[in-house]
Amino acid sequence: MRGSFLDRVGALPRLGLGVSTEYGARRQDGALDPAALRARAPAYAGFLEVGVEVVKGLDADASAWAAAGWPTTYHFLDVNLDEPEDLEESWSAEARAIAAALRPAWVCGDAGLWHFGARDRGQMLLLPPVLVKASIGPMAAGIRALRAALGLEVLPENPPGSVFLGDMHLLEFFAALAESADTGLLIDCAHLAIYQRVMGFDPLTGFDSLPWERVVELHVAGGSVLTHEGLAMVDDDHGTAVLPDTWVIVEAAIARAQNLRAVVVECERNPLEATLPIFAAVAERLPQGWLAGAGE
């Protein structure tokens, strides 16, 4: 890909408001059917963000969505970007085959630790990166390598967590990562709210350190507070109750992200009717006319 990301971003389509899924998500009782959502409220399901673990591939719902020619993004669930071993050719070849089926607008995914040890059964998890400068170079190299391997933009996402280590603010870290990898960003507003809370910060702390012109995608999701031995934490449960801090972040992010192309509501395990208010609430916060131009 030629040119800097800020040149390339102009070629990325505006996907609008979309919904996420992962392998088998709809097969759970009461789970959201993205195709049904698209039929019921097309503006809320402008695209499908497909969570992909290469070893599992695509389920029937994701395959059918792609076969219909509807827009998608590819959200990886199995790459430690800072481990070159993870981009082995056999994995890359399978990822390319999946991307060929999905024809995604771009690739995105949490820039964190998706598995401990080798990529093997029982070893999947998700931890945030260690927020130090030494993490940035290897992770940026992984983003560049994945971009080259798949021929698609790769947008790192800020992961959730209950433990954040390092001397950089998360937004400062992702700013440096985006610059180093010359890429765009996916900001998960719910994950960011969790981080700010864990660190004892206000919801918008560090906002000025992020190059918002690189933010292409936002995630919005519900969460719930749980307490363990007196320690209160937010569980990123993708429920229907979006926490107030998350809304504060959503509004501030929308106001700053002039190259925003996509907003995903992550609510895949909830009944359709229960999710509609979140989509409506997000749509209300988007700029006038922004949704109308999506998909063009």
Task: Tell me if 122 contacts other proteins by CB under 8 A.
Answer: yes
Task: Tell me if 134 contacts other proteins by CB under 8 A.
Answer: yes
Task: Tell me if 120 contacts other proteins by CB under 8 A.
Answer: yes
* Position 224, amino acid: S
- Max CA distance (Å), the chain: 52
Give strand pairing partners of 95: none
Ramachandran bin of 166, using left for φ above 0, alpha for ψ from -120 to 50, beta for the remaining angles: left
Task: Tell me if 199 contacts other proteins by CB under 8 A.
Answer: yes
Task: Tell me if 183 contacts other proteins by CB under 8 A.
Answer: no
Number of residues that bind other proteins (CB under 8 A): 33
**Shortest distance, CB of residue 166 to other proteins, whole angstroms?**
6
CB burial of 252-266 (b: ≥16 within 10 Å; e: otherwise) equals ebbebbebbbbbbbb
Minimum CB distance to other proteins smaller for 57 or for 166: 166
**Shortest distance, CB of residue 167 to other proteins, whole angstroms?**
4
26 close to 271: Cβ distance less than 8 angstroms = no
Residues 79-118: x where in contact with other proteins by CB under 8 A, - otherwise, as a string: ---xx-x---------------------------x--xxx
Identify the residue among 135, 158, 183, 246 touching other proteins (CB under 8 A). 135
Nearest of 226, 228, 215, 91 to residue 156 by alpha carbon: 215
**Shortest distance, CB of residue 63 to other proteins, whole angstroms?**
20
The interface region with other proteins, picked from 24-32, 46-54, 157-165, 210-218 by CB under 8 A, is: 157-165
Rounded distance between C-alpha atoms, residue 111 and residue 125, angstroms: 12
